[in-house]
A = this chain, B = another copy of it.
Amino acid sequence: MATPWLDGRELRAWIRLRGVLELLPGVLDSQLRRDADLTEFEYYVLAMLSEAPSGTLRMSELGRQTNATLPRLSHVVSRLESRGLLERRPCPEDRRATNAGLTEAGWRKVREAAPGHVVTVREHVLDALTDEQVDQLAAITDALLARLDPTGSMAATYTRYDGVPDAPTGSTAPPTGG
């Protein structure tokens, strides 16, 4: 039962990953907060809606696509609703469920915010890597997500890549118009 301490190689990878975990969210948050008065998470809520048919999604599906728990999402959606960026409506087919849909102001907001966010992601992530590293990163994060979310209950956003391009499911794809 000896503890399997990390060796030098493992330690380097882990400590640096931990650094990224600590620093990257803050960078993304502060750009969006400054330029669009949105949290990174709030932005993704709007972005995922903007890519759904009619800009509408069930709460639970929205939660999966943003990797969020339902309580967290519910609070965030309440705030966004009170700001007039989206609306809640009861789902006719399942009376337990709630649909969240973008309002006109929500569409505008996400279209305004998207370009700046993409630039930030490029500057701080993609531009730092070679093409090869981008693919390596996709494979690595894919493997990690399989451990972190084994049931795939939050899998919507990282559908395995089998050579067929994903449908544009990104936060950082152009918002598909109304």
Contacts and interface: CB of A to CB of B under 8 A. Distances in A.
B139 A11 contact: no
**Interface residue tally of chain A, by bracket?**
35 or more
A94 interface: no
B118 A16 contact: no
Contacts of A21: 20-21, 24-25
Given A3-B118, A119-B4, A134-B9, A68 B15 contact: no
Given A10-B126, A124-B144, A144-B128, A119 B3 contact: yes
B171 A141 contact: no
Considering residues A3, A18, A122, A147, which has the most beta carbons from chain B within 10 angstroms of its beta carbon?
Answer: A18
Interface of A: 3-6, 8-25, 27, 44, 66-68, 114-115, 118-119, 121-129, 131, 133-149, 154, 157-158, 161, 165-166, 168-174
Given A5-B118, A19-B154, 19 more contacts: A3-B118, A3-B119, A4-B118, A5-B173, A6-B126, A6-B170, A9-B138, A11-B169, A11-B170, A14-B126, A15-B157, A15-B170, A19-B145, A19-B148, A20-B21, A27-B148, A124-B144, A133-B136, A133-B139
